Amino acid sequence: EVQLVESGGGLVKPGGSLRLSCVASGFTFTSAWMSWVRQAPGKGLEWVGRIKSQTYGGTTDYAAPVKGRFTLSRDDSKNTLYLQVNSLITEDTAVYFCTKTFHSDSSFDYWGQGTLVTVSS
Amino acid sequence: EIVLTQSPGTLSLSPGERATLSCRASQSVSSSYLAWYQQKPGQAPRLLIYGASRRATGIPDRFSGSGSGTDFTLTISRLEPEDFAVYYCQQKGSSWTFGQGTKVEIK
């Protein structure tokens, strides 16, 4: 059974930082391309960033609103995906979902339960 | 960035009825890169359809997707009680974007 379990969310002041983690199981993490998708309270879904497998250089792509502030990384030895979020602003308040990309990088077939990041003074 | 517009915003239907949800793109989308998700309150989204018309693993055949270019449709042939939820379309071009969602509610 595929599982994605996020952690690391919490309440942080504007300008602060957090590191979100996602532990994966039930599939071959080393070959998976992974993404983060977020959802502000009561709002829709927004793609945040994607990291390719190490076979493809582990390269990353980011959505414009987070580029330069957020960093994706992975530790394949721990089956873990990370999202370092810096210089947080109130608009970053959201549930952050860890997802596995699917079908030639086109969609997201497995999702974690999400971790809530609240940015407030 | 490709903008996806879903309509209607809310669909009020009874169990057993047919639901037709629309997703219109601001520019042409490759059918290979159009997906649909279902989200229930307090839960993560679930992939229903990928490649515009291919059902994901375990998705009942009452869910079907169609369309091409800029117009795509998700159809639920006969609504079951568990189908009342919010549905999102999503595309991948230079980046991934989602529609704003259609809520299917019980009439």
Chain B 67-86, residues with CB within 8 Å of chain A CB atoms: none
Average pLDDT over residues A83-98: 98
How close A56 comes to chain B (CA, Å)?
18
The reported pLDDT for the residue numbered B12 is 97
Residue of B nearest to A37 (CA): B96
Q: Is B97 on the interface with A (CB under 8 A)?
A: yes
User: Is the pLDDT score of B31 beyond 90?
Assistant: no
The reported pLDDT for the residue numbered B43 is 97
**Contact check, Cβ <8 Å, A106/B99:** no
Residue of B nearest to A6 (CA): B44
The number of beta carbons lying within 10 Å of the beta carbon of residue A94 is: 22
User: Is the pLDDT score of A103 beyond 90?
Assistant: no
Find which of A34, A106, A115 to mutate to test the B interface (most B CBs within 10 Å of its CB).
A106
CB pairs under 8 A between A and B: 61
